[in-house]
Amino acid sequence: MIIELGIDLNISICPDEAYVLNCYIKTYQMENSFYNLDYIISLGEKRVDLYLSAYQGVLGRLTNIILVYSALGIYLIPIIHDLLDGAKVVYCLFAIIFLVMIVVSVIYTIRLLIPIRIAYLEVSDRYSTDLRNQYEKRFLRPELSADQAKDAKKMIDDYLKASYIAELSEAQQINQRVFVGKSSFYYRALVWGLAAIVPYIACIGFHLSRKEDKVQKVHFVYEEKIVNCNKSVYV
């Protein structure tokens, strides 16, 4: 017997296997249908946990920014000292660009670290007690027959699930906004920190060359003093 599975593939199997497979396919489609409230609830809970885990992962990568700041902080004070000491215009330009990039990166890092409201899935009796009792008082009337009472309970169950789905949707939106916002702050802080390496290297080069010039001047003054001292001795 040949059955079609909804894709471009035909499989030859016996009638018994075809019956079992068809039952499995129908069950799978029912369980994973957006008309199935249980499936929507399961999907919503997974998405809430997914965005929460992704947000925590962003905070876990904060060490990358700290490593960049550690490297940039080695010559930070000498660079500022040279800037205030009246260095060349080119050096001042690179130093100002470097400091501006660092400040922008730090601002984004601070915004990343600012606490923000996160949605968690809490265990609550609201749906199993309070809200259910309200729906039962409204729909479960004593004059209903057994079949009508059964249908009313089914409707109440759907209402409760729909209310829970609305809460899950709100929690999902909150965590999604938090994840997107914090990811943006992390990315910008890291990019600005890495971009600051370029003027930072230029400033280090200027600083080391300026330091060598000062050392040479000191040696020159020292040698000049020695020469003057020798001349005074001979005189």
Number of domains the chain is built from: 2
Tell me: pLDDT of 151 over 70: yes
Residues 85 and 158 in one domain: yes
Q: Which has more pLDDT, 186 or 21?
A: 186
Range of the domain at 207: 32-234
Residues 202 and 213 in one domain: yes
Residue type present at position 216: Q
Residues 96 and 199 in one domain: yes
Kindly report, residue by residue over 88-136, the tens digit of the pLDDT: 788 889 999 999 999 999 999 999 999 888 887 776 677 777 777 787 7
What is the pTM (predicted TM-score) of this model? Answer: 0.68
- List the helix and strand counts (H, then E) for the chain: 8, 2
Nearest-5° Cα angle at 55, 71 to 106? 30
Residues 10 and 56 in one domain: no
Tell me: pLDDT of 219 over 60: no
Cα–Cα nearest to 168, from 17, 43, 26? 43
* Least confident window among 131-140, 169-178, 218-227: 218-227
Residues 199 and 180 in one domain: yes
Average pLDDT estimate for 203-225: 60
Cα–Cα nearest to 117, from 178, 185, 54, 51? 178
Residue 147: predicted pLDDT:
80
Q: Tell me which H or E stretch contains 213.
A: helix 197-234
